Structure 1
Amino acid sequence: MNIILLSKNYQNYSSGYYHQDSINAFISVSNTFVYGPGYSHYDSNDSILEVIAKSNFTPTTVDLIVCSTSWDEDESLDSVDPQPSIDLSLIKNIPKVYFLNKEYKKLDIRFQYIKKNKIDLVCTVHPNAKKWENQIGIKFLYLPFGISLNRFKNLNLSRVYDFSFSGSLHKNHTDLRFNIKQHIFQKQHINKKSNCGLNSIFKLLRPEYKMYSIFWAEWGAKNLFYQNLLPKGEKYVKLLNQTKVFLNTPSAIGIFNTRFFELMATKSLILCPKTQKYEDILINEKNCLMFNPDLSDFKEKFTYAINNKSFREKITNQALEDVQSHTYINRIKTLINLI
C-alpha cells in the first residue's frame, strides 16, 4: 500500500513518543512517504498535488493519505490548519484519514478542519468516537494508543524504587492524583512537586510511607540547578524498569494513556483506580492492581503490592504477555485493513 503521511518530524523528540512510534509503524507495514515540517523535502507553499509529486507516487498509485497526530497547528487559538495550501478536499478518489489529537482543546475547530477537507475516516483514542461520528456525520474509528516494544522493554534492572509517580496532577480535571499525594505527603509539604533532589533531605512523606523508597516528580519539578527532575528518553525507560509499583490513572479526559502500556512492557506493576475506562485491556489482579477511587483501600493495596514479590511477578508477567498485541504496528494494521 502506498501512503502519504502528513506529519511533523518527531525523530529527535524526547517525550510524546506516540507521534514517532506511529510514524515508524506506518513505515514498517507500508510504502510510506512522510511529508511535513522538519523533513528535507518540505515546502510550506506546496499543494497536495505537489506533495504527491515529491513522493514519486502518482495520483493514481496513492492508496491512502493520512494526517498524523502531529500534523495539526497547535499554537494558534483559532485554527488547526498547518498548511492551507494543502487542500485535501481536492482529492476525490483517494481515502483520507485524520488522527484526532488533543481532544481536550479546539475540538470544534478540528471538526471544522475535518469537514472542510472532506476526511473519510477519523481515528481517535477517545471513547467518544461513536458520539462524535453521529455528531458530525463522518466515520470514526476508536483506535487506542499502543506501544513500541523496541523503545519500552524489560531491562532486568534492580527495582530500587518501591513506588513511583511522574507527570501532572491534572487538578483542573480530576482530584484523584492530588488526593493520593495527600495520602503520601505531609500536609505542610503538599505543594512540593518532588521528593527528589534537595527535597530528599526534608521529611516530606507521612510517617507510614517514609520507610518506602518512593520517587515522586510532577511536571515543573526542578533540582537545585533548575534542571527538570522528570526523566525523559532512556532515563524514563530506566525509571520504569527500576520501579516495583507505579501509580497511573486514565488521562484527565478519560483516555487510556500510553503509560499503561509502557508499564506493562517494562514489568512495573500498575497500581490504578477502579473505573470503566480501561476498555477490557486491564483486569484487576490479572495484569494490574486496582484500588477504590475513594482511596479506602489504597494503603492496603500499596503495601501488598510492594511486599509480595510473587504476586507482583505473577501480575507483571501477565501484563508483559498481554501488551504484545498492543503494538503500534498492530494498530496501523487494523486501520489499513479497514481501508
Structure 2
Amino acid sequence: MFAKKMFTRGAALIALTTASFSTLAEEVNIYSFRQAFLIEPIMEKFTQETGIKVNVLFAKKGLIERVKREGELSPADLVLTTDISRLVKLTSQDLTQSVNSDILNKNIPSQYRDPENQWFALTTRVRNIYSSADRVGPVDVTYQDLATPAFKGKICTRSGKHPYNVSLVASVIAHEGEANAKVWLEGVKANLARKPQGNDRAQVKAVKDGLCDYALGNNYYLGKMLANPKQVAWAEAVSINFPNQKTTGSHVNVSGVVLAKYAPNKENAVKLMEFLSGDVAQQMYAEVNYEYPVKVSVQPSKLVASWGQFKADVLPLAEIAKNHEAAVKLLDEVKFDL
C-alpha cells in the first residue's frame, strides 16, 4: 500500500489512505505525482485562506491506474502530475472532466492548457542542454546539434523512455516529422558517451567527472543541486544553455492538474485549481522548486532569473502531446536505451 512509504503530515496537508479519505464539504482530496514536501507549503496557504483541508496521496507511479480501478468510487478530486504525458494519459483514458473557469483561462496561457479544458499546466520547466563549464563553457546550441559529428562521444542522458525525453522527441516530431526525428534520434544515440542511465542530476555529475561534455536536463535540477551541499560541485561544473534560441525556442514541459471525472468535492477542487494558478501559489512554486511560473505576470526566483531570459517553443503542448506514442515508437525502433 502507498501508505507505507509516502506521506507527510502538516497542519493543513494530511496524507491519508483511500479508506480514510473524506468527502466532507470542507475538504479536497489530491492524488499527486509531485512530492508532498514540495506542495505542502502551498496547500497549507490554501487552507489558511479558505478553511478547506487538503488531503494528499503521493506516489511516483501507479496513480493513473489507481484512479481507473477505483472508478466512480474514487475519492480523488484532483490529480497533480509532473509532465504533460500523464496529463494527456489521464484525459485520453476518460478519467477527467472539463473545468470552465475564467480565472484559469486568464492565469494560464492557452498553449499551456487543454483546448477542451481537461488539463491545465501549473508550472513550466525547460529541457536544457548543460555543458562543461571548464571544457566547453556556455554555448549557443540546438537540440539538432546533438546529432552532429562534433558531439561524438560527448553526450550523457537518462533513459529515452523517461517522460521528459519522450516529450522532447515528440516536440521534434511535431516540428520536423517522424522521418527526420528518427534520423536525429539515431544521431544522438551514436553520440552518447555511455548507455542512458540515472536521472537528470546523474548526467550533470557525469559531466563533472569528465565522462561527457554535454547533458540533457531540466532547469530546476540546477537549483536543487546548488541547494544541496553534497551536489554544489556538480552544479558548479556546468553551464546551463537554452537550446534553439534562433529557431523554434527551447522545449518546455509542465507540471499540471486535472479535475478527476468523479470528484466528490468538485467545488472545492476547482477553488484549489484556481488558487494554484494565482499569484501566491505561483510565486511559491517558483521559490520552492526553481520552476517557471505559468502565470506570465509572476517572476521566477532570483536564482532562476540569473540564468537569463530565453525564448520558449510556442507550439501548444497539446500539439506536441499528440506525438507521444510516435515518440515512444521511434525510441524503440532506434533502440535508444540499449
State whether TM-score is above 0.5: no
Larger fraction in helix:
2
Q: Give the number of the structure with larger relative contact order, counting CA–CA contacts within 8 Å between residues 6 or more apart.
A: 2
TM-score normalised to structure 1 length: 0.35
TM-score normalised to structure 2 length: 0.35
Question: Which of the two has higher C-alpha Rg?
Answer: 1
